[in-house]
Chains A and B, each alone.
Chain A
Amino acid sequence: MISFSRIGAVFIKEVVQMRRDRPTFAIMIMVPIMQLTLFGFAINTDPRHLPTAVELRDDGPMTRSLLAGLRQSTYVEIVDIVHSDEEGEQLLRSGKVSFLIVVPESFEADLVRGERPEILVAADASDPVAASGVVGAIGEIARRAFEPELERLPKRLSSGAPPYSVVIHRQYNPAGVTAFNIVPGLLGVILTMTMTMITSIALTRERERGTYEALLSTPVRPIEVMVGKTTPYILVGAIQTSIILLAALYVFNIPFAGDPLALLLAISIFILTNLMLGYLISTVAKTQMQAMQMTFFVFLPSILLSGFMFPFRAMPGWAQAIGEAIPNTHFLRIVREIMLKGAGVSDIAGDLGPLLLILLVLALLALMRFQRTLD
């Protein structure tokens, strides 16, 4: 016979234990609230305000009204106006802009002559999602901008097909293959999850098993424990990296355009950063359960706010600010820049710097958190 009294006994005990485990309870309540607010507002699958540069090689009333039209548009946001190919190329490669709109020389003159000049839109297609809607959007902006100007032109130009064309040039991933974007990104996501999780229980497990006190009673120093506990997993990370990269190159046929040594450097720093993040969690978490929950707490933003799932530039400013503090954000940019855009060490310095800074801050925090006493 099932006894409701016994079920009640177990039920009450579980509720009491859950209430007493405050941190776990707090995380269970806080996770949905925080993540919902964070991602509900941050994630934007309908990209807006994508950073764009305009390369102006013509200057006339029509070009100016096109520029005005672009400025009014919410789809793109003009962050820079350049006048040479090199400048424009540099902005696109470094990832500072998602699009480069080129108005060619003698655009207006050619247009009036009926030669149908081209407005070139160079898109960073290493993130296909962001690039997908751009052609239609720019075409529409141009049509509206030129409308009043075209009315003043001879009829043969203003009727029928527009006397110009918008040409898109997808760079770094011409076919817009999603796997080119996702697979290098997966490298960052997988390393974030496994490396953080594995060290998040480093000290917690010692505490739970009662070995922590014996460890502390020896003359071992906090930095010795930290280095000794994290370095074995560098090897694990190296094996994971090899598997993912081999699959990327030979299964998904993803091009590798850049400097392998630069990638190796970036991966090493990224692995260390995640190991340190996990180690910091283990200095805080009281049980392995808490350590796991905290790992997932940092894991979700690493997927959703890093630019892995959704275009980073399309997120609101505050979400981008949070994203900048996430190691995976910088790593994703580095990997895409090296693999798809052919970047070398000097090109990735802008993201390697923040990654190193995050690593340093995490290591210092972990050392400060590690108590040499049981207080």
Chain B
Amino acid sequence: MNGETVIDVRGLTKRFGDKTVVDHFDLKVPRGSIYGFLGPNGSGKTTTIRMVCGLLKPDEGEGTCLGYDVLHESTAIKANVGYMTQRFSLYEDLSIRENLEFFARLYNLDNLRARVDDAIASLGLEGRSKQLAGSLSGGWKQRLALAACMIHEPELLLLDEPTAGVDPKARRDFWDTIRRYASEGVTTLVSTHYMDEAVQCDRIAYIAYGKKLLDAPTAEIPDRVGIHAIKIEGGDLEAIASRLSGAMGVDFLARFGASIHVCGKDESALAAAMAPIEGMPGVRITPVKAGLEEAFIYLMTQASDNFEAGEAA
């Protein structure tokens, strides 16, 4: 099964009016992988996911999802994909069980009762299956929504910012579930804003202005971006920060608890920028390897708000 491609699309383009939301997007997702979509708000992540699962018709481009043509076989794609929307999209006035049964019926599943029982059991909600979905907390809603879009055992899971507004513990549990599905061979395409979620992905595509700027295995991303970092500890960090901010060779500063990471593309210019603070009492300056977070902060500073750019275009 390894090496098989689940999503293979080329040149996907979507325009709303005269605004190009997704611009010639290529994507190859291998089976069993967890593929992350990162990018600022309005960069086209949701639109891309919707085109892949047949909810939007691309204006241009071609390709396949699970072997079905994304332009003409959207019904077949819908039957084999689990799609979890950004906003909670189950029926708040139906109970947990009724929601799961509703979706199970839409997929024409056999052994309806057993499947729904299993789903409720694996959620750990046996005693609460009659509770209305609308009365669940944010974290439980997300888990229920995930269970609903997994009820037909899809091979591909599309998650659009699945954990927005969910507390860290619930987010961790959510990701444990995703990992378990991945180990069973389920492919996952997930869009997110959170760095702790990004590191969970096997591979990441970075999107801005509807274009893919970067597509690499997660571990290689800091090197691909080519960002360098210097860690500064001790002393008056606020004063140091305002002094270094905007200095030659410094692209941005990132505060990490009791230290500041000063980052820049040009390694020697960055080192030269340290001159004013060198020798300050109690201040330690150490070059460090830039991580994923610094890489993405750098990418985001390059394209901070796509709405502005979009409207100007």
Contacts and interface: CB of A to CB of B under 8 A. Distances in A.
Interface string A207-237: 0011111111111110000000000000000
Contact of A219 (B79, B87, B89, B92): B79
Given A219-B107, A372-B74, A214 B89 contact: yes
B90 A216 contact: no
Interface residues of B, number: 25
B50 interface: yes
B175 interface: no
A219 B106 contact: yes
Contacts of B79: 218-219
Contacts of B56: 373-375
A26 B88 CA distance: 32
Interface string A354-375: 0000000000000000001111
B216 to A, nearest CB: 29
Contact of B50 (A215, A218, A374): A374
Interface in B67-85: 74-76, 78-79, 81, 83, 85
A214 B78 contact: no
B55 A210 contact: no
B92 A209 contact: yes
Given A372-B74, A373-B74, A217 B88 contact: no
B91 interface: yes
For the complex of A and B, the 4 pairs showing the least CB-CB separation, nearest first, are A214-B89, A219-B79, A217-B83, A218-B106
B54 interface: yes
How big is the A interface, by class?
10 to 19
A64 to B, nearest CB: 72
A220 B107 CA distance: 8
Interface of A: 209-221, 372-375
A209 B85 CA distance: 12
Nearest to B108: A219
Contacts of B24: none
Nearest to A220: B106
A375 B88 contact: no
Contact of B57 (A209, A212, A216, A375): A375
A221 B78 CA distance: 11
A266 B88 CA distance: 43
Contacts of A217: 53, 55, 78, 81, 83, 85, 149
Contacts of B89: 210-214
24 contacts: A209-B91, A209-B92, A210-B89, A211-B91, A212-B89, A213-B85, A213-B87, A213-B89, A214-B83, A214-B85, A214-B90, A217-B55, A217-B81, A217-B149, A218-B78, A219-B76, A219-B78, A219-B79, A219-B106, A219-B107, A221-B75, A374-B55, A374-B56, A375-B56
Contact of B88 (A210, A215, A220): A210
B174 interface: no
A210, A217, A220: most-surrounded residue (chain B CB, <10 A): A217
A374 B14 CA distance: 12
Contacts of B25: none
B140 interface: no
Contacts of B75: 219, 221
Given A219-B75, A374-B56, 6 more contacts: A209-B92, A210-B88, A214-B103, A214-B148, A219-B106, A221-B75
